[in-house]
Chain A
Amino acid sequence: MNAGAASESSADALPDYLPARMLNEFVYCPRLFYYEWVEGVFAQNRETVEGGLRHAKLDAKHDDLPTSDELQASGEAIHSRSITLSSDAYGLIAKMDLVEAEGGLVTPVDYKRGTPRVADGKLVAWDTDRTQLAVQALVLRDNGYQCDEGVIYYVTTKQRARVAIDETLVSQTLDALRQARETAESGRIPPPLVDSPKCPRCSLVGICLPDETQACSTLDSSEQLSQRTLFDIDLPHRAVAYARVDSDSEVRRLLPARDDLRPLYLNTQGLRVGKSGNVLKVQEKDKTIQEVRIGEICQLSLFGNIQLSTQALQALCENEVPIAYFSMGGWFYGTTSGLGVKNIYLRREQFRLADVPGFCLRLARALVAGKIRNQRTMLQRNHVEPPDSALKMMKCMQEEAEWTDSIDSLLGIEGNAARIYFQHFAGMIKVDGEDGSPTTNGPSPFNFDFVNRNRNRRPPRDPVNALLSLAYSVLAKDLTIVCHSVGFDPFLGFYHQPRFGRAALALDLLEPFRPLIADSAVLSAINTRMITTRDFVQVGPSVSLKPEGRKSFFRAYEQRMDTLVTHPIFGYRVNYRRMLEIQARLLARVLTGELGTYPVFTTR
């Protein structure tokens, strides 16, 4: 299948009538229009919420508009609120806040937050608002009314700006309408605006990533051609030509550095979670031990036997708070979420490209090389005495990974690099097994001695391995959630092959972050003594964390997640949680053909 076929079917799926509001968005930014109209993506910011709340009030009153003939006959002045009319001639539908009518003449009035422009001492409506009125006028005219003028009422300043519906405005509007339809039908998302003051106020800025996309596309515009010819495969054709920006132009950080929501972990066995209002009530034996507002959490992780009421579950789904389930021992079972991202186009590209071996290999090489590089950086930064030979070998392996020609040999290189890295992992642990602090229940049978050990998983046989396993499990959960929220299917990967119950794409994305987030959280939990050897128990051959130790580990992990890091390409600082999302969105751009290469995250 090619992109041409894809675009036809995407246009087919669009409703017949274009809402006036959408044309308004098109005039504001064609890309915003494409996101909302074609891909069905919405996001809220203060502007949209305030607008929505105000309109909810207007919409509550719902009037009928008498027909044009009735109006003329009665001759009375009439105010009709919340009128929806459509026009078959133009394929438009308009919802009007208010229509004032007198005799045969009608005037649509639209309520807007904000302030009008002042030009030559007169109040002037913004272009987007003028377009919206023009659409309303066109729809009214097509329904037999006479409409020569519209009004925008700016709520903030309580001022009215009149807009004459003249020939020029009408033809501009029809022009915009034609362009909007063509854009939707092309199946190609328009490029982001360049350095536009509109972006900081746009509710989709965190999804669109305008400056980041620009920065990446200038980055790979030179490579792009050679890669396309090097891999003569059916890569996405949708890549758009970008206006070249200066490579030293600054990437604005338009989204906040950290999310203002917090994860909630429930780890005490036997808890029950109910809901009252928008508050989760966490109860232990009929006693409420914690209340958490749903609006303040971004995810809920449940470990072991914890009961969640249906009411709570529904409210969490409705608020798009994903729920992750783990066994008592930390094995990640899966997630529950709301309806998910409606955008099916990304998933379609994902499935298509997962069958293109050249694409999989190219991405896998970048991911593995990035991971090895980050492991090496970890040793350099944290090892008591970074071993020269290991660093050199890892450097070689990183380069080897960049050029190897099969996924199998890539797996081998990754394994070898991991072996060297874990051989020296102990050098990053800077406490003794017996941490010297007084203990009430005698010396612990454990130590954090990792020398001569290696990764052992099922079951983990020493404290360090137990911590690493838990960390990877929790990080896999976070990336599974990120995949869902971006619109991927987490189970179909490009490097990790599909296997039942394995979130392969989440694991792909996770590789470069393994050392930086998971290993680092483990090291800081041990080195800062948030966790000591007395936090572990031996059960048969396996070693696991006691409940209190596990809680401490979640705090260490979340502290790491909340650490600000500099993005190597964009130069700004965001926390790791935000970074995971940005990286997943950039991968989505590669799949839809907007970007040529995936910029793997590495730190210096």
Chain B
Amino acid sequence: MRNTFLVCYDIRDDKRLRRVYKTMRDFGDHLQYSIFECQFTPIDLAKCRHTLAELIKHNEDQVLFVDLGPTAGRGERVITALGQPYTSMDAPCYVV
């Protein structure tokens, strides 16, 4: 099952920063500057960690993975917002 993660990064080089940003767009929603919200299965997490590990410079950059627990039924319990509203995706399907 999926867990919600905040992935936050601090990258010391602009080129790497752009690449990390681009990579992260495949994995989650851009929440704020340098912060993504991701709904990871254990497989996704392994892939994301592996991809980023190949990308960053290990003695300069840092990526943090913050596990917010199971996505299902999380509602708005874990993240609340001040200012711009935060909305979480909890629908059983996407309809456009």
Contact = CB atoms under 8 A, between A and B. Distances in A.
Give the size range of B's interface with the partner.
20 to 34
Contacts of A559: 92
Interface residues of A, number: 35
B92 A293 contact: no
A258 B50 CA distance: 26
B22 A277 contact: yes
A244 B75 CA distance: 45
Nearest to A298: B93
B18 to A, nearest CB: 13
B95 interface: yes
Interface stretch (A15-23, A44-52, A322-330, A413-421): A44-52
Contacts of A450: none
Contacts of B28: 293
A30 to B, nearest CB: 26
A50 B46 contact: yes
Contact of A279 (B2, B25, B72, B94): B25
A49 B40 CA distance: 14
B26 interface: yes
Contact of B46 (A46, A260, A268): A46
A5 to B, nearest CB: 40
A562 interface: yes
B9 interface: no
A557 to B, nearest CB: 8
A307 to B, nearest CB: 13
Contact of A46 (B26, B42, B92): B42
A555 B47 CA distance: 31
Interface in B72-92: 72, 91-92
Contacts of A271: 96
B93 A554 contact: yes
A49 B46 contact: yes
Contacts of A44: 43
A554 B91 CA distance: 11
B69 to A, nearest CB: 14
Nearest to A265: B95
Given A267-B96, A554-B93, A293 B1 contact: no
Given A277-B22, A293-B26, A46 B43 contact: yes
B95 A293 contact: no
Nearest to B94: A264
A50 B51 CA distance: 12
B93 A295 contact: no
A241 interface: no
A295 B38 CA distance: 12
A53 interface: yes
B41 interface: yes
Given A260-B1, A555-B91, A268 B27 contact: no
A263 interface: yes
A523 B22 CA distance: 44
Nearest to A277: B26
Interface in A39-74: 44-46, 49-50, 53
A292 B94 CA distance: 8
B44 to A, nearest CB: 7
B59 to A, nearest CB: 19
A277 B94 contact: no
A268 B26 CA distance: 25
A256 B72 CA distance: 12
Interface string B31-62: 00000000101111011001000000000000
A127 interface: no
A297 B94 contact: yes
Contacts of A562: 92
A498 to B, nearest CB: 32
A291 B1 CA distance: 22
B26 A278 contact: yes
A277 B96 contact: no
Contact of B93 (A49, A293, A558): A558
A53 B93 contact: no
Contacts of A297: 94
Given A260-B2, A296-B39, A554 B26 contact: no
Interface in A157-195: none
Nearest to A44: B43
Contacts of B93: 262-265, 554-555, 558
A260 B42 CA distance: 11
Give the 3 A-B CB pairs with smallest separation, nearest first: A46-B42, A558-B93, A558-B92
20 contacts: A49-B43, A53-B46, A258-B1, A260-B39, A262-B91, A262-B92, A262-B93, A263-B93, A263-B94, A264-B94, A265-B95, A266-B96, A268-B96, A279-B26, A282-B96, A289-B96, A293-B26, A555-B95, A558-B91, A558-B93
